[in-house]
Amino acid sequence: MKMYDERIISYRGRPLFQTAKISSPYEAANRLEDVACFFYILKGCIDTIEASGERRSKNQEGLLKSCGNFISRYHPDQDGSDFEAAVIYFYPDVLKEIYRNDLPPFVLNDAKAMPPKKVVGNALIQRFMEGLFVYFENEELMDENLARLKIQELVMILLKSNYFEGVVSFFQGLFAPKSATFRQVVENNRFSNISVDQLAFLCHQSLSSFKRNFKLEFGESPARYLKNEKLKEAAKKLLHTQDSISAIAYDCGFQDPSTFSSLFSERFGLSPRAYRQDQIRK
């Protein structure tokens, strides 16, 4: 990955706050071990594919990343400039040090978290990030006490934001990790545009082990299962939505509309357009 203009503020020898530009478009397989993070996009957008599925985050949006393997696809900004983001890292040991006995109860058990009485907009998160940039220009101002306060401030802002439910789930997973099952990872990503190799990576398995376990779990090869699942979903969308053929192709995880049309015709005996028209007439 060609990363440049990288700035890092460390906490006891580990990166805590970071900004970087990444030459884009670019795709990478990543691994977060014993650390999670809040990814704030400054320019461009990013597609992330992980155990829980796929999502896209755009300019001025935040993304909470849990521990584990994931695939990132970085896209340039609308003006053509490279992808740029700021990252705040959440280390479980640092969070436990920050909160000590004041950790919200829902993080450690199944107690239901109450949503905020008033939800703050993304503008407050943006202002927090803007304030953080002062310290990248003056790193000597950021001591350990201030670093802990900034982390605590971000957590409180996120808990009062539109991200509330995701934030609660995120911190519950960080303090009491629960691994997704093999089947869950596969089903969460069956409509993602990823290869079998990449899906094996998300499952933390070698390709040979993944194929063997997949056959035991699903009764067929990964390639056949994923193709059939995508085609079945595409057929549903053709009948129940007005989406274009191209949009359906990409939504169902096909690389391009022509490949989708060819595979669809092979499976159903009709082109996607003809299939839609034929079903409407019925």
Q: How many domains does the chain contain in total?
A: 2
Residues 6+ away with beta carbon under 8 Å from 75: 24, 25, 44, 45, 46, 47, 83
What's the predicted TM-score (pTM) here? Answer: 0.82
The C-alpha atoms of residue 72 and residue 196 are separated, in whole angstroms, by 16
Say if residues 21 and 84 touch (Cβ distance below 8 Å). yes
Surface-to-core class of residue 248, CB atoms within 10 Å of its CB (0-12 exposed, 13-18 middle, 19+ buried): buried
How confident is the model at residue 104, as a pLDDT?
60
The C-alpha atoms of residue 106 and residue 204 are separated, in whole angstroms, by 29
How confident is the model at residue 84, as a pLDDT?
94
Residues 45 and 7 in one domain: yes
Residues 198 and 162 in one domain: no
Residues 133 and 204 in one domain: no
Asked which of 149, 175, 201 is the last residue of a domain, the reply is: 175
Residues 149 and 38 in one domain: yes
Residues 170 and 208 in one domain: no
Residues 6+ away with beta carbon under 8 Å from 79: none
Say if residues 245 and 282 touch (Cβ distance below 8 Å). no
Asked which of 133, 152, 175 is the last residue of a domain, the reply is: 175
How confident is the model at residue 100, as a pLDDT?
75
Q: Which residue has the tokens 């890292």?
A: 89
Q: 72's torsion region: left (phi>0), alpha (psi -120 to 50) or beta?
A: beta
Asked which of 153, 175, 197 is the last residue of a domain, the reply is: 175
pLDDT along the chain (282 residues), means of 10: 79 92 91 87 93 89 85 93 93 84 58 52 82 89 92 86 74 70 92 94 93 94 95 94 94 93 94 86 61
Separation of first and last alpha carbons in the chain: 52
How confident is the model at residue 238, as a pLDDT?
92
How confident is the model at residue 155, as a pLDDT?
86
How confident is the model at residue 101, as a pLDDT?
61
CATH number, domain with residue 15: 2.60.120.10
* DSSP assignment letter at 269: S
Range of the domain at 224: 182-281
Residues 187 and 162 in one domain: no
Q: Which residue has the tokens 């605590």?
A: 152
Residues 154 and 230 in one domain: no
Say if residues 119 and 58 touch (Cβ distance below 8 Å). no
